[in-house]
Structure 1
Amino acid sequence: MMLTRRQGLAAGAALLAAPRIPLAQSRERPFRFVVNVGLQNLDPISSPSFVTRNFGYLVFDNLVGMDMKGGYRPQMLQGWDVSADRLTWTFRLRPGLAFHDGAPVTSEDVVASLKRWGARDSIGRRLMAATAELTTAGSDGFVLRLSRPYGGVIEALGKPSVHTPFIMPARIASATPPTQPVREIMGSGPFVFLRDQWIPGERTFFRKNERYVPRDEPADGLAGGKVPKVERVEMITMPDIALRAASLQQGEVDYLEYAPVDNLPLFRRDRNIVISEASGIAEMLYGVSINHYQPPFDKVLVRRAVQQCLDRREILAGAGFAELGRPDCASMFMCGTPFETNRGSEPIADPSLDRARALLREAGYNNERVVLLHPLDSALLNPFGLVLIDRLKRAGFNLDVQGSDWSSIAQRWVQRQPLDQGGWSLVPVVYTGFDMSDPLSNMGVGFNCTNNQPWGYCDAEMTTLIERFEAEGDPARRKELAGELNRVAIAQATFPIAGQFRAPAAWRRELRGVIDFGFPVVWNLERGGR
């Protein structure tokens, strides 16, 4: 049921009342930001969700940070030295790093964290496969010795999104398999998680980390000085889109991770609201996660039929992103990023339901049940899912649509059970350029033959190309290889893409120091005048 404006504001006031944290003065009230879906899993290594990544950037810290230009800069590190043959990398931690319990961050913690991350993440697994040994060198140094050339060591350590190689204590990282959530949240980042106040799926509370020692240089994207300037932070979930918009307009929340597209014209006329202009790597890409293990999607022709259902113009318009979308973009690696390419994209340049039906006939599709998990609580995925469902049905797929909240779907998504035991066939998903622009983290390329995610694609030609891409250090040659990887991924329909777009954040104008970089960056901001 749609709320009236007055009902929405009243509900927002009730929702945002926080009796556990009295608000003495306006300047002391928490910074409140609204995320797209509820936070259930707190471990950024075991969870594939953006909301957990957002949580991770408040609580944890990472070795290398990405700046606004896409460059990689030392974060927890003082720097690094590389041998002449580029096979030995020596790193040194900067002084003053401490976990929230006061324990110093040591090289042992770093090595244990990287090994856990490297057993889970797509890039991490590839880096570890090229590693002869990863060892400590005193309490504040560690050494990475490669067994073969690997061209993206710093890019791997600075991976900005799922799964980000955050650092946690060795006693936690070493004791927990990477597919299982850690039981204790202990980071060294700019904010401290208040677990006793956490309401799973609804509200998450943080306080400023008084022990945090930021870098001296100014904040720049995810790099530079992470100065926590607000005393308290609340991360909130609001499933009702109208309520999100009303709460921002009334100043009951400070920041929306995703501004409702229907409200953008209203926001633009409101002098108290700023709308994000982040683009390029900060843009997003719709896609369809396919379970290659489950028939009928073990057949490439059936997967190609899904590709032909993805009319990017119709999907982006249906989701409200007609003016903010790039329907002509058919690059697996995102348009406007260094590896943008159209090599091999001809089959999806002009998708057609008639071709989808023909492919199903050619594949011998016999009306097998297809379980599609539809995220009902996501402002981004619910409208995409509705268009996707309609087009798949029109093409002739026998859909069993199972709607649920994203947190529940995410738990099913990483499992491999048969359909009659809670398994799945298709999931509409969305990723940022931080995930998709690098071939080694791209959902349709980077997980090839890794067997560490449920979608399970494995192509021999792609394996050879990835090995060459990994070892290559020349940027021009890496771009050529990315074009070949794009061609193979589309031919094999590993991860059908469904439209690139800009999903802007929005925030109150009185906020100063906001880093407009595609997802919530909470350090460096403070309240000021209008």
Structure 2
Amino acid sequence: MKLKLAFLVATALIAAPSLLMAQEKGGVINVATIGEPPTLDPMVSTADLVGIVTQHIFETLYTFDKSWKVTPLLAESLPEISADGKTYTIKLRTGIKFHDSSDMTSEDVVASLSRWTKLASRGKQVAGFIESVAAADAATVTIKLKQPYAPLLSLLAFNNSAAIIIPAEKQDEPMKEFIGTGPYMLKERKADQYIQLARFDGYKPRSGESDGYGGARHQYLDEIRFVPVPDPNTRVEAAVSGQYDYVDSIPVESFDKIKNSQPSEPIMLKPFGFPVFVFNTKEGLSSNLAIRKAVEKALSMEDMLAAAFGSKDFYNADGAFYPKSFVWNTEVGTEGNYNLGDPEGAAADLKAAGYKGEPLRILTSRQYEFHYKMAQVAAEYLKLAGVNVDMQVVDWATLTQRRADAKLWDIYITHSPFLPEPALMGVLSTSSPGWWDTPARKAAVDPFTSEADPAKRVELWANVQKTIYDELPLLKIGDFNAVSAKSKKLEGVDPAPWPYFWNASITK
């Protein structure tokens, strides 16, 4: 299936690896992040921040290349799949060491996948389709499915709620030792100060060229330090002054300021992804579909996007979950359901739904400034509709903890990059915060995930999108471009939705 890869390459979701002259070895880089990750166990979190840090420590069987195709990482090659689509035979790379110097074998893979299907929201998404995971020999794992499940490899490759491979004897819940196979290992973590990663000298990279998240991962740097910088304006000034080698998630209005600075340069991913308002469909006010529909009617997506991103150079008001450049693009379900901006009509709908002024609890964070700005505009439209808005502004780590408890919120604000496989979207997992789990969801999603034919899957995705609009587990606000900044001395860092720093080096 073609994902219109020319578009992805041209827009640099993951650009081709930088062509470097002799890369310098050694040195330390400091990376400013939007805050403190709530955990360093990537299985149990869907937070991008967790994935950004931990992808250097832990690895998965597969990952994505620069064209968003699944490619082997800890697996030796792509799996052998039986004719009926129900048996995956995975050969593992040999000679792979964990950070504790033990050898990775199929025993570790089987134990890790068991933990993943038990703890990870995306693993739970797969669990119902799995009949067994077993070691055929020390370097071979066999996954048997109850029925074909097309997204399996993409889910095994994803670094979000990730199927990381860790030693069989270190499967603690919660994780106590952070032992992976990655190019860097955890050296020290000081809460709210830094996470320090050091080169793992026992790392065995893949042969060949680097290829997006795939291919060879080079260890030019001695250390990578991730430093939480929650205030977006502080991140901007840090980029302008050159205080950090890389600064993640910069407000888009600072693009020119960074462009004109001496030590740093901006990086823009266009288009990056989409912000969403996720509803709690399990408990509380937003568990009522009529209330969710009224919220949808009240909001002006255009005004929220304008407040968050300013110029249309940085956003596009579009209700489809994929832009026109993707094969998954469809307008089905969006007609008459997007960018309505009708608080008066919403007020009438709320009255008919029996709304009596209960607080609508909206969770957001200023660490992603565009989340907060959208929340402010949404609050004004909802107040015009007669909604009693309870805006709860917290740090991102607190938000990710609170959203796990259905009793604490009605809406939380987040965002997602455009993903190569729609089944990777968190909303399709019934265990993802929001807990969308209805007969209509099952009737739309199950045929989509079990269909192997690419053309038929595109058609079935249209029905999934329609069902999302029918039942509103979340609201898509629009498309946006993301801006970060890097030092002009930092080489080998290509634009990516989850920035990675293997292959990075510092010019002297």
The residue aligned with 1:468 is: 447
Q: State the alpha-carbon separation in 2 of the partners of residues 93 and 462 from structure 1.
A: 35
Q: Which amino acid aligns with 2:350?
A: L
What is the TM-score normalised by the length of structure 1? Answer: 0.86
The residue aligned with 1:509 is: 488
User: Which residue of 333, 346, 359 corresponds with 1:344?
Assistant: 333
Give the CA deviation at 1:398.
Answer: 0.9
Q: State the alpha-carbon separation in 2 of the partners of residues 336 and 172 from structure 1.
A: 43
Q: State the alpha-carbon separation in 1 of the partners of residues 311 and 163 from structure 2.
A: 35
Q: State the alpha-carbon separation in 2 of the partners of residues 188 and 60 from structure 1.
A: 6
Which moves more between the two structures, 51-60 or 246-255?
A: 246-255
- Partner-residue secondary structure (3-state), 2:95: coil
- Contact map agreement 1:257 1:519 (CA 8 A) in 2: no
- Contact map agreement 1:303 1:493 (CA 8 A) in 2: yes
The residue aligned with 2:193 is: 202
Give the CA deviation at 1:28.
Answer: 5.2
Q: State the alpha-carbon separation in 1 of the partners of residues 375 and 208 from structure 2.
A: 43
The residue aligned with 1:332 is: 321
Q: What do residues 358-396 of structure 1 show as CA deviations (whole Å, max 9, x unaligned)?
A: 321221211112222231333342222222222222222
Which moves more between the two structures, 342-351 or 223-232?
A: 342-351
Relative distance call for 1:326 and 1:340 in structure 2 (3 A) is: farther
Relative distance call for 1:497 and 1:118 in structure 2 (3 A) is: same
The reply to whether residue 303 of structure 1 matches residue 288 of structure 2 is no
Give the CA deviation at 1:131.
Answer: 1.8
Relative distance call for 1:29 and 1:249 in structure 2 (3 A) is: farther
The residue aligned with 1:69 is: 67
Relative distance call for 1:298 and 1:204 in structure 2 (3 A) is: same
What is the TM-score normalised by the length of structure 2? Answer: 0.90
The reply to whether residue 489 of structure 1 matches residue 474 of structure 2 is no
User: Which residue of 227, 230, 233 corresponds with 1:236?
Assistant: 227
Q: What do residues 6-33 of structure 1 show as CA deviations (whole Å, max 9, x unaligned)?
A: xxxxxxxxxxxxxxxxxxxx98542111
Relative distance call for 1:37 and 1:310 in structure 2 (3 A) is: farther
Q: State the alpha-carbon separation in 1 of the partners of residues 253 and 374 from structure 2.
A: 15
Tell me, which stretches of 5 or more residues in structure 2 are unaligned?
A: 1-23
Give the CA deviation at 1:172.
Answer: 2.4
Relative distance call for 1:323 and 1:199 in structure 2 (3 A) is: farther
- Contact map agreement 2:240 2:262 (CA 8 A) in 1: no
The residue aligned with 2:425 is: 442
- Partner-residue secondary structure (3-state), 1:464: helix
Q: State the alpha-carbon separation in 2 of the partners of residues 50 and 497 from structure 1.
A: 18
User: Which residue of 417, 431, 437 corresponds with 2:416?
Assistant: 431
The residue aligned with 1:274 is: 265
Cα-Cα RMSD:
2.1
Q: Which amino acid aligns with 1:369?
A: P
Map 1:50-199 → 2, pairs under 5 A: 50-79=48-77, 80-160=79-159, 162-173=160-171, 175-176=172-173, 181-195=174-188, 198-199=189-190
- Partner-residue secondary structure (3-state), 1:172: coil
Q: Which amino acid aligns with 2:203?
A: Y
Q: State the alpha-carbon separation in 1 of the partners of residues 58 and 378 from structure 2.
A: 36
Q: State the alpha-carbon separation in 2 of the partners of residues 380 and 99 from structure 1.
A: 39
Tell me, which stretches of 5 or more residues in structure 1 are unaligned?
A: 1-25, 418-422
Q: State the alpha-carbon separation in 2 of the partners of residues 473 and 123 from structure 1.
A: 19
- Contact map agreement 1:32 1:234 (CA 8 A) in 2: yes
Map 1:361-400 → 2, pairs under 5 A: 361-400=351-390
- Contact map agreement 2:232 2:367 (CA 8 A) in 1: no
Give the CA deviation at 1:284.
Answer: 2.3
Q: State the alpha-carbon separation in 2 of the partners of residues 328 and 378 from structure 1.
A: 19
Give the CA deviation at 1:99.
Answer: 0.8
The residue aligned with 2:215 is: 224
Q: State the alpha-carbon separation in 2 of the partners of residues 49 and 498 from structure 1.
A: 19
Give the CA deviation at 1:490.
Answer: 0.6
Give the CA deviation at 1:185.
Answer: 0.9
Aligned residues, how many? 483
- Contact map agreement 1:333 1:442 (CA 8 A) in 2: no
Give the CA deviation at 1:107.
Answer: 1.0
The residue aligned with 2:13 is: none
The residue aligned with 2:28 is: 30
Give the CA deviation at 1:456.
Answer: 2.4
Give the CA deviation at 1:481.
Answer: 0.6
Give the CA deviation at 1:302.
Answer: 0.7
- Contact map agreement 2:266 2:484 (CA 8 A) in 1: yes
- Partner-residue secondary structure (3-state), 2:46: coil
Ranges of 4+ aligned residues in structure 1 off by more than 6 Å: none
